[in-house]
Structure 1
Amino acid sequence: MLTDSRRSAILHRVQETGSASVSDLARLVQVSESTIRRDLNRLSGQGLLRRVRGGGTGVGAEFAAAAGPEPDDVPFIEVAARSVSSKQRIAARAAALVGEGDVVVLDIGTTTALIARELRGRSITVITASLAVLDELREDPSTELILLGGVLRRSYHSLVGTLTEEALHRLRATICFLGTSGVQPDGTVMDTTGTEVPVKRAILGAAPRAVLVADETKFPGTGILPVCPARDISTLVTSASSEARTLDLFRHTGSDVITV
């Protein structure tokens, strides 16, 4: 099992059960206890769990207050109501980057769901772990739709976990579209959910062209974990009002920046 996938599985077990021992986690992911101890130390350092003697436990309320609300506290339908006009413009422009016959990976999120809507009627293949994308394309006979497996994250209409990641490692696409909870001033693409970050990294590895879609509220936005640096993004599609210095940084690293 890859390192990111293994740590995602560890984090999911601790979040699910409240705590887990080193020996139990070693059996779960089939690695040595010393490897588990290193993983727990790393996850603890990132603030995703608390390292205790013999294992790890979920983070306490003081961390939740410092980090802000967990994504599961903000339902998909609520996020979808934010910056609607900006997201629609971004989605329409992003969809125009897809050519006939392309194999497209769509990340979870409200903007990528709008991209799926724009792609209806196109002779393409779409790979996704987003149930919102599934809803947009399930009745479209032109699109071959591949739904990735995984654990259901109900509040955000997505599938996550090792099954999702391993499927992405086996697939190859021509272009992928990535969402984000926020972009740091140094160009680092961030996310707020530990279980989503390994999936996003696997999406980046599945296609040679990575398109980041982010409206003006994401510059800067929230996020506790880095997904990738700006140099890993081939094209950024964003609002014309997004923070200019960060957009210039993306251009400097070689990304095409499209504003709408």
Structure 2
Amino acid sequence: MLPKQRQDQIVRALRADGAGGVKVLAAQLGVSEATIRRDLEALHEQGRLTRVYGGALAVDGGDEPFAEVSAVRADEKNRIARKAAELIEDGESVLLDIGTTAHQLAQQLHGRSLTVVTSNLAVLEELQNDEQIELIVLGGLLRRSYRSLVGYLTEESLRQIHVDTLFLGTSGVRPDGRVMDSTMIEVPVKRAMIQAADRVVLLADASKFPGHGVAKVCDPGELTTVVTEPGADEATRAQLAEAGVQVVLA
């Protein structure tokens, strides 16, 4: 992993948790404590975190703006969304995760007879006027900058429902097929979503192989299908297939 990628992961982890210790960050990223200390010093000098004894504190700035993330690899996400929409049968119930690819998928669902459950406010805005779709919005704590709902209320809502298919987002897929996320506050919600679905479809463009992520969401065996691109790392795709996961290329 390049230093810039590692440092970006450190900043994301601190934004999620507010603070992080050297030992914890080193374990999460699989590098030495000395490497983490050098990264923290460099990030402190850049003004991206506040260095404290034994670790670092997040600085104000929040998450990446939703619109900014939406513009990254937009064409690839759109192709993945179109392919994912082909996996849905009319009359089914689907659960859409947070994130911009799930929003792209929602755009493909207009006019279809479906039940859509989500904590993604961009999906709500996209589908709220479509009378063909029964739209269920989970409760929770609002993360304004990423237009999502999280926390205990979201997780509790998910324990009360069950859907046919979850369309899950990710920050990155490890070479062994583990699904990761860089925003730890989202991970318990994602895990609750997995438990609420009969099948789990991961939406991940080629940049997510390996991508970012310091917290494990699930093992490959918990996935039913991965929708990605031909450019996604072939060795990782092979690991997913070996775990019994259907890999669909958009």
- TM-score (structure 1 length as normaliser): 0.75
Deviations 1:188-236 (A, max 9, x none): 1001111100000011001110000000110011111000011111000
Q: 1:62 to 1:186 in 2, by over 3 A?
A: farther
Q: Would you say 1:61 and 2:63 are equivalent positions? A: no
- Asked if the contact 1:183/1:190 (under 8 Å) is kept, the reply is yes
CA distance in 2, matches of 1:71, 1:231: 36
**Counterpart in the other structure of 2:139:** 149
- Asked if the contact 2:50/2:58 (under 8 Å) is kept, the reply is no
Q: How does 1:35-50 map to 2 (within 5 A)?
A: none
Q: Which residue of 103, 107, 110 maps to 2:97?
A: 107
- Report the aligned-residue RMSD: 2.8
1:135 CA drift (Å): 1.1
The one-letter code matched in structure 2 to 1:259 is L
Q: Would you say 1:168 and 2:158 are equivalent positions? A: yes
- Asked if the contact 2:63/2:146 (under 8 Å) is kept, the reply is no
Q: Would you say 1:88 and 2:78 are equivalent positions? A: yes
- Asked if the contact 1:237/1:258 (under 8 Å) is kept, the reply is yes
CA distance in 1, matches of 2:60, 2:229: 25
CA distance in 1, matches of 2:68, 2:149: 19
- Asked if the contact 2:50/2:57 (under 8 Å) is kept, the reply is no
CA distance in 2, matches of 1:253, 1:62: 41
Q: Which has the higher strand share?
A: 2
**Counterpart in the other structure of 2:190:** 200
Gaps of 5+ in 2: 1-14, 29-48
CA distance in 2, matches of 1:176, 1:165: 15
Identical amino acids, percent of aligned pairs: 47
The one-letter code matched in structure 1 to 2:77 is K
Q: Which runs of 4+ in 1 moved over 3 A?
A: 43-47, 60-63, 65-73
**Counterpart in the other structure of 2:231:** 241
Q: Would you say 1:178 and 2:168 are equivalent positions? A: yes
Deviations 1:108-146 (A, max 9, x none): 000000101101111010000000100110110000000
CA distance in 2, matches of 1:249, 1:188: 10
The one-letter code matched in structure 2 to 1:243 is D
1:61 CA drift (Å): 3.4
- TM-score (structure 2 length as normaliser): 0.78
Gaps of 5+ in 1: 1-11, 19-42, 48-59
